[in-house]
Amino acid sequence: MKRLEIDFSDTKIAFENQSIEKLKKNYAIFALMNQNWLVKIGTFFIKYSLKFGLPIKKLIKVTIFELFCGGETIEDCKNTIQTLNKFSVGTILDYSVEGEDDEDSFDATEKEILDSIAYASVYKSEIPFSVFKVTGIGSRDLLTKVQLANETLSDLEKQNYNNFKRRFEVVCKKAADSEIRLFIDAEETWIQSVIDGLVLDMMKKYNIEGKTFIFNTYQLYRNEGLGILMQHISQAKTKGFKVGAKLVRGAYMEKERKRAEEMNYPDPINENKAKTDEQFNLALEACIDHIDVVSVCSGTHNDASCKLGIDLMNKKGLDSGDQHVYFAQLLGMSDNISYNLAKKGFNVAKYVPYGPIEAVMPYLFRRAEENTSIAGQSSREFLLLKKELKRRSKEKV
């Protein structure tokens, strides 16, 4: 088998889908986000403006929202889906509404998730996965009490927890019946054990007869993350089901460490980034080594981990388009990885968040914070766009 080599610094391929006008616009947005002080002021101003109804939504929509989101509705995402598909990149529709916490909102979110699965079932070649967050269909506070196990639930809480489990089962069944692969996103450690248990039950129920529809998300910045993955792989081998594994490093480090310190329990996060990188790469190696029972999605913006995934596939003798292995990145970020992988025939998908502008602002604020300058260094996205603009400028000469 021919060994495939990829140059993730190739910006010509990375931004092939962007016109010069779009490239300049995105460069300007990232240039603003590259200023830490400006992001802080801008975040405060946007929150204030939305709270008091100031006319700022249109500006948000044509800048940061357009860069990182597909639209406000599934239908709005159609253009993004088609553009990605043109370059052999799949879409993962992600209803990214946050902060709602009542039964009516949970029911509404359940309906939206089911609609996204139904939409994906019609456009399977363009939308290889669906996804949802458990806290979109159930109370974080309630799940925290359930995980503690030693706290007695009131009758109302028992009813609400049963409602949550019903929603969870309905969504998973819909995905399996529609033959759509479904990611269940990871959350904070103090509710993640409940989620892991529920997802494991769904994998045992629906990932059978050679099919893999239900995917758990394993956070490898957790010091228990790799161990949980290996336990699930071991159970799959003995009990005859398949593991769907989406691997990520993690997203709640500061919150996790602060809570552990305040509540005086051991820090659940690895001591440093090097350890997290090591754990992620070991998890990826384990998944591909056990590809007979695992389908894996490497959810990472890390060049080295993506290159490792390619090397592991080569060593295992897997074709670049083997459906057991996917790579995933967020819309608006790491196009140098996504498009260069897709160009070589690897399976790639972008998370495409959507939802009302006000409701997805927490997501957008996180993206802005991720792309601010750190210790005087420019963000990677900013530098890649800058490089491509220079390349196109020279090309014209």
Q: What are the extents of the domains in the chain?
A: 71-368
Least confident interval from 20-24, 64-68, 362-366, 384-388 = 362-366
CA 330/CA 334 separation, integer angstroms: 7
Mean pLDDT confidence for 251-257:
89
81-103 confidence digits (pLDDT tens):
999 999 999 999 999 887 678 99
Residue 301 pLDDT > 50, yes or no?
yes
31-60 confidence digits (pLDDT tens):
999 888 888 999 999 998 988 888 999 999
Nearest to 43 by CA among 382, 320, 370, 369: 369
CA 341/CA 8 separation, integer angstroms: 8
CATH value of 71-368 in 3.20.20.220, 1.10.540.10, 3.10.129.10, 3.10.20.30: 3.20.20.220
More confident residue, 98 or 332: 332
Beta partners for 295? 244
Nearest to 384 by CA among 329, 330, 331, 337: 337
Nearest to 98 by CA among 74, 56, 132, 68: 132
More confident residue, 152 or 324: 324
219-251 confidence digits (pLDDT tens):
999 999 999 999 999 999 999 999 999 999 998
pLDDT value of position 4: 61
169-228 confidence digits (pLDDT tens):
999 999 999 999 999 999 999 999 999 999 999 999 999 999 999 999 999 999 999 999
Threshold 0.75, pTM exceeds:
yes
Least confident interval from 70-79, 99-108, 127-136, 380-389 = 99-108
Instruction: Name the packing angle between helices 140-148 and 155-177 (round to 10°).
Output: 100
Residue 283 pLDDT > 50, yes or no?
yes
pLDDT value of position 395: 81
CA 391/CA 156 separation, integer angstroms: 62
Residue 1 pLDDT > 50, yes or no?
no
CA 69/CA 361 separation, integer angstroms: 11
CA 82/CA 31 separation, integer angstroms: 27
Residue 152 pLDDT grade (very low, low, confident, very high; cuts 50, 70, 90)? confident
60 and 320 Cβ atoms separated by less than 8 Å: no
Beta partners for 168? none
